[in-house]
Each structure stands twice: as C-alpha cells, then as structure tokens.
C-alpha cells in the first residue's frame, strides 16, 4: 500500500498502489495534503493502475478533492481505471464528475 507523486506538465499525478479503502484513503489524503502544501496544482490526476479494489471511502476521497479543486477553478481526473473500480465509479456517479482517460498523455490533451 502506498502513494507516490509525479509532476507531468501542469498535472500532479497521484500514483496509487493497493486497495483504496478507508484505511488507505486516509493515508493518501494526508500525503496529498502534505504535498500540496509545498506546491499547489490546479490539475490532479489519480492513477489507478495498481489499484484493483476501491469502496465508498475512495469515492468520498475523490469527491472531496473534486470539490476542493472546483473552488480554485481546478480539475480532477483518473487514469487506468480497472473493472472493479469502474463499477464503483458507475454506481456512485463518479463518472459524471471525474473524467477517466487511458493515460496521462490523453488526459493532458483533453483535460
């Protein structure tokens, strides 16, 4: 379980690794807050490549980020979303507010 950050153009890519439940979501939120304190970004991209499980705690975390960025005119996106995670995106309506792309290249073109 872990999170690493990568800057790509004007994007902050948040590479998630593990099962995005309440336990992990809390850790990710803390680390992300720490990172954003040092440098702010208007575009955040969550990379789900190494996430094969997410529950409503992940949904809450993503909506929280979406709202925070909306306030400053920013955007949140997701890449490499797998099957189980996609079902959660669908049921919770996340697909309507958080655009999903194949990779950061497509995201940087369209977001």
Ligand X SMILES: Nc1ncnc2c1ncn2[C@@H]1O[C@H](COP(=O)(O)OP(=O)(O)OP(=O)(O)O)[C@@H](O)[C@H]1O
Contacts to ligand X by CB under 6 A: 56-57, 59-60
Residues 31-90 that bind another protein (CB under 8 A): 53, 55-57, 59-61, 63-64, 83-84, 88
Longest dimension (CA), the chain: 35
Residue 25 binding result from ligand X, another protein, none, given CB thresholds of 5 to 8 Å by partner type? another protein
Residue 21 binding result from ligand X, another protein, none, given CB thresholds of 5 to 8 Å by partner type? another protein
Give every CB contact of residue 5 below 8 A, 6+ residues apart in sequence.
Answer: 12, 13, 14, 15, 31, 32, 35
Residue found by looking up tokens 């040092």 in the block: 38
3-class secondary structure for 76-102?
A: EEEECCCHHHHHHHHHHCHHHCCCEEC
Rg (CA), the chain: 13
Residue 7 binding result from another protein, ligand X, none, given CB thresholds of 5 to 8 Å by partner type? none
Residue 108 binding result from ligand X, another protein, none, given CB thresholds of 5 to 8 Å by partner type? none
Asked if residue 106 binds another protein (CB under 8 A), the reply is no
Kindly give the pairing relationship between strand 100-101 and strand 75-79: parallel
Binding residues vs another protein (CB under 8 A): 19, 21-23, 25-26, 29, 53, 55-57, 59-61, 63-64, 83-84, 88, 91-92
């Amino acid at each position: 379980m872990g999170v690493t950050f990568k800057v790509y153009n004007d994007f902050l890519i948040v590479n998630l690794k593990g099962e995005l439940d309440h336990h992990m979501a809390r850790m990710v939120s803390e680390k992300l807050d720490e990172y954003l304190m040092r440098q702010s970004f208007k575009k955040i991209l969550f990379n789900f490549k190494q996430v094969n499980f997410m529950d409503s705690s992940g949904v809450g975390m993503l909506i929280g980020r979406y709202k925070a960025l909306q306030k400053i005119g920013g955007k949140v996106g997701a890449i490499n979303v797998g099957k189980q995670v996609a079902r959660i995106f669908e049921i919770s309506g996340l697909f309507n507010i958080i655009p999903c792309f194949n990779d950061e290249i497509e995201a940087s073109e369209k977001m």
